[in-house]
Amino acid sequence: MILNIVDLLFYVYMIILFLRILGSWLPELQGTVFMQFVAHYADPYLNFFRGFVPPLGMIDLSPLVAFLFLGWVIEPAVKILVVLLFS
C-alpha cells in the first residue's frame, strides 16, 4: 500500500515537471494560476540541476538530468527504503 502511494507521488511529480517544461515553451501560459502552481512545486527541483548543468546554447538540459535523476536514483532508493522499513 505504501509503495503504491510512493509510486503515485513520483508519477504525479513527474507530470508536474513535464507540465512545467511544456509551459516554459508557451509564454502566454506563464501568468496563469495553474502554471504558477506548477512552477511553485517544480522550479526548486529544476533549479537544483540548473546550478550545475550548463545550457548548450539555447538548450537547457537540466530538465532531462532532473528526470533521469528522479527515475533512476530516487525512485528505486525510496522503494528499497520502504521495503526495508516495512518488511
Over residues 20-78, the pLDDT tens digits come to 999 888 888 888 999 999 999 999 999 999 888 888 888 888 888 998 888 888 878 77
| Residue 55: burial class (beta carbons within 10 Å; 0-12, 13-18, 19+) | exposed
For the cut 80, the answer to whether the pLDDT of residue 15 exceeds it is yes
For residues 48 and 52, what is the distance between their CA atoms, to the nearest angstrom? 8
Specify the pLDDT at position 19. Answer: 94
Q: Any bridge partners for residue 42, and if so which?
A: none
User: What pTM did the predictor assign?
Assistant: 0.81
CB 55 within 8 A of CB 61: yes
Specify the pLDDT at position 58. Answer: 83
Specify the pLDDT at position 33. Answer: 94
